[in-house]
Structure 1
Amino acid sequence: MKLLEQLIQSAKQAPSRIVVCEADDPRILQAAYDAHHQGIAKMILVGDKTRIEDTATQLQINLSDLGLEDPQLSSKADILCEALVKQRAHKGMTEDKARTALLDPLCFASMLVHCNYADGSVAGAVYSTADVVRSALQIIGKSPDADLVSSFFLMLLNQPHHPVQKGVIFSDCGLVINPSEEELAAIAIAATQSANILLQTEPRVAMLSFSTAGSANHPAVTKVTRAAQRVKAALPHLAIDEDVQFDAAIIPTIAAKKIKNSSVNGAANVFIFPNLEAGNIGYKIAERLGGAVAIGPLLQGLAKPANDLSRGCSTQDIFYVITVTSLQAQNRTDL
């Protein structure tokens, strides 16, 4: 997995402060410990201090050089409370409500990011995706230059049977259910930024459809082509194919037969699915039948990185998401 090795080495160049709020879960704690001691991130653990210490004892982990914040004991509670009231006052947040909310480790961790005590967060091994995304949106917030928050998977094609050996971006596979053409364009633009950070090569975008270069006439195809045209207007130098089937997006010989004047030429590394149904099915087929490694779901379009996990994730999965989150924090453009 050459790309993974490159990402790990890149993260080590300037490790970010990453907070996890499910640190009493053995998978989370082991991954956080590994990331911290390999120099990929400076880890902050949030949760009940006694329970985290008990888990560390079971795993034979020394917590002495990791940051640990217990929401019930933290010296930062007053500062976070004041900041939460200020941020959510328009939604009826009071001091009493804020103190109660901050007892939730997920809220506490998100506020650490909001108040710059951490550069990014990772959660979802225990919390649901809905909870993780809601906290990220309400507390960390959308980036000023993003039209919406969406998700992507970093897919690693590294099996002998894969037609190419590389990393690619699949988006959106986890959040926006039925994007409009404007939202689909925003997803594609955000995915190109994710590709710039993680693929370490120029993004080449395929706007996926059941049609290639106008071979079918249907409103679903029109949405994809119009979204692609919006992306072209925003990023005129980007290599992008409008409506394109997956085979023509990834196999040069098929692209040569199906598309005249392609700028991608069957070498796409960013695949934009027309809706969540297609994206979610597509990444699971690639992972479960195709043998690709799927890292994510990862969020794009937030003011600061906050990434979700599958509740069935492994320690290795979490380690990879921490690595990506550290890189996203390194590459923030508003610093």
Structure 2
Amino acid sequence: MADGLLGPAEIRELAARLGVAPTKKLGQNFLHDPNTIRRIVAAAALRPDDVALEVGPGLGSLTLGLAGAVAHVHAVEIDPVLAAALPGTVPAAHLTVHPADALRVTGDRFDPPPTVLVANLPYNVAVPVVLHLLAELPTLRGGLVMVQKEVADRLTAGPGSKVYGVPSVKLAWYAEARSAGKVPPAVFWPVPNVDSGLVAFTRREPPTGAGRAEVFAVVDAAFAQRRKTLRAALAGWAGSAAAAERVLLKAGVNPQARGESLTVGEFAAIAAAARTPEHGGKLTPSGAQPEEAEA
């Protein structure tokens, strides 16, 4: 064990003692490289008074690194066996373990309130988890998450990029995001067949003029038919192609443009332009959960 951090031998020994085997269902790939843990903690630019929120701590390798760098750690773990074992691995007084699904946690369960999100996120739920927590926890000033490299590229993409899409725009609503580097598969057990990427983000004020649900409804509609012009892609959302064109022109957006060329501010302008007496379009489709959409 290097400076209190778990290496490959400690990870396998701990898993064997707990009778735990990584499962694809929970997206479990346990981090076992102390150098990578130190790199993540350093890249997160943590302050001594920060309250860190970690999702999917697993066997506790990153949790150990965080516990020595911040005032408090909240660890959300869906696996009850791992959640119960974590305090034994990380015997810190300032650790609170939450046996819960991160997609269902609410802000009122965290005391003290988290200020940073630092996590090795399960690949299969990374985007909805980040968006849910940013919506639920306004106290988060930023963070650093490790996700599949392809997802990292999408989250940090800007308008005009081939991978710019729904996750890019929705994260941009909350925060400014940037790539913080690549992580090779060999630092995990089991070894995934893809690279991972680090995404750093800093909270900022969202665009004005329309609410999040209204803007996300426009984003979902615009990218549901990515190859179509906005005039055509937003026809269902606005009620007709003609109505979509009127809203777009009012927002100062070219009806022949495509969603992949717009900033989050321009999507907000479209949603704001639809808030007019003459527009009868339905802004938020019934039953939609726009925060959780990926594409």
Same topology, TM > 0.5: no
Higher helix share: 1
Q: TM-score, normalised on structure 2? A: 0.31
